Amino acid sequence: FQSTGHSLKASYMFIVASYLLVLYSTFLTRTGVLGDTSVHSFTGEGSTLYWHLIIMMLAFLSAPLIFYFKDRKNVPVEVKEENLDSREFWMFVGSLLLFIAGLYIIILTSLPFFNKLFGTKWAIGEDVEFVYNRIMILVAIILGKLTGITQYFKYKNTSSKYLWSKLWIPTLIALVISGCISYFGNIHFDKYGMGYLVAIHLAILASVYTVVANFNYLATIVKWKMKAAGASIAHVGFGLMLVGILISSSKKELISENNTGIAVTGLKDVKGKDEDPRENVTLIYNVPTPMGKYTVTYLGDSSVEKDDRVYFKIKFIKTDTSDNSIAEQFDVRPNAFLMKSQQGTQLSSNPGSRHYLSNDVFVYITSWLNPDNIKDTASFNYKQVNTGDTVFYSNGFIVVDRLLTANKNDNKDLPVVDSAWLSELSVFSKDGRKFSSAPAYFVKGGSGSVKTDTIMEQNLIFSLERNGKTVKLGVKESNAVMRYITLKAYRFPWINLLWIGTIVMVAGFLLSMWNRLKSKLYVV
């Protein structure tokens, strides 16, 4: 408006709508109205927040409308429409396109709320991702082109000769670069047919065009003067973001292919859609498990009081096949919210990640055996044993290596008990692995107590009982002992372009804001 005198009313409406939509998104995510349909729907605040946000939205909608209709006659309006070859026209088109795209997302996201409000049964469909992406890919194509071209337009009007003289070189360069990316990048995402694949390649062209055209604008028109470079820098960042999103999403690779033979059935994502067991690897606590190029081990989990979130620790080891040495070793720490619903407790997973120059690995927890929900109904089987005896269980056998007796008079290491019966056991599983265990029995003040020992990898619990001068070994096989998780892991190539683009875009925005503030202060 300050440059052209156009679109003051539209600017006013966009400003009001932006704040209202922030309030509305808070309403959707913090009041639980989306129920189980969104991983970002958190409940627990109660009806107070629900009505608080309703009142706020009504207030911030009604007040601007009242002031607008009260003073609308005083709002300056340009009678003459913007020219098609003017910068302000295409800026308005871009703003309108973003608004419509946002409205599309908001309406689809709000369907569960609308269903509750009107008693309807509208649904997005099974493939939620494609429902959004088939529209957003078209938005990316148009925005990419506009972001590359619009700055070359002048306010009021622009001659086609001037425009072509400035754009033919970046257009040619963008065609060459995007063609190389499409051809040598092996982008063959044909899951949704040839039409969608063509749209991806067109979006890559538009994104590259944004970067090249704005670099050219910085070099030839702005002449790298920081006072006027903020918008172009932000546009370069936006283009890099789009390139990163398109390449990483269309070439993402599943690395959690399940070849272990252990599959957890009945897995569902937060949308209620069935997970493919072949894409989810089950990890038993402290048991190294092969997963593609890695050997993965579930090291444990933890939680914080009054925090409905569980934190997991998973070790990745990559071995050099030439000499079996460790080529790489790292830990990832995904976490998951526990979302309670009528169907039970579901996980809303936040990924753990490992970052490389050319790709990132993201790890999601898809299921977790909550020990609080497990009831142990198994019992101990006792057998009198001596040193050297062997006891069998369903998956192997146990050797009693040593049985020791100690009392506080002969052993100064037993100050807190009167006497103790100690054992050392070796456990051999059918797959050739060996484990150690050391259950014990203590006596103090005439009463006895048992110190059990557990081998989680084999679902075994050991106990020791004294019967006069004899010792009995108790063995319990219980599924309640096993701790396991299932996970899904992806590799996203060149996703660093997204992070770099984000940083560059924010830097350009801050530079523009700083230059605008300086000019205002200078005028004052």
pTM: 0.71
The tens digit of pLDDT for each residue in 422-459 reads 899 999 998 888 999 999 888 887 778 888 888 877 88
User: How far is residue 265 from each of residues 259, 268, 273, 275, 367, measured CA to CA in Å?
Assistant: 15, 9, 13, 9, 10
pLDDT of amino acid 343: 58
pLDDT of amino acid 129: 83
- Looking at the DSSP assignment, which residues form a beta bridge with residue 310? 303, 336
User: How far is residue 112 from each of residues 28, 34, 36, 338, measured CA to CA in Å?
Assistant: 10, 6, 9, 21
Residue 409, CB-side half-sphere exposure with 13 Å CA sphere: 0
Q: Are 423 and 475 in contact (CB under 8 A)?
A: no
pLDDT of amino acid 330: 93
Task: Classify 485 as helix, strand or coil.
Answer: strand
Neighbours of 448 (CB within 10 A): 15
Task: Classify 440 as helix, strand or coil.
Answer: strand
Q: Are 284 and 300 in contact (CB under 8 A)?
A: no
pLDDT of amino acid 487: 92
Tokens of 390: 């062997």
Q: Are 490 and 517 in contact (CB under 8 A)?
A: no
The CA angle 20-22-27, to the nearest 5 degrees, is 95
pLDDT of amino acid 259: 77
- Looking at the DSSP assignment, which residues form a beta bridge with residue 466? 471
Tokens 């088109």 sit on residue: 93
Domain-wise residue ranges, the chain: 1-124, 128-251+494-524, 254-365, 381-477
Low-confidence ranges of the chain (pLDDT < 50): 44, 524
pLDDT of amino acid 243: 94
| DSSP code, position 297 | E
pLDDT of amino acid 28: 79
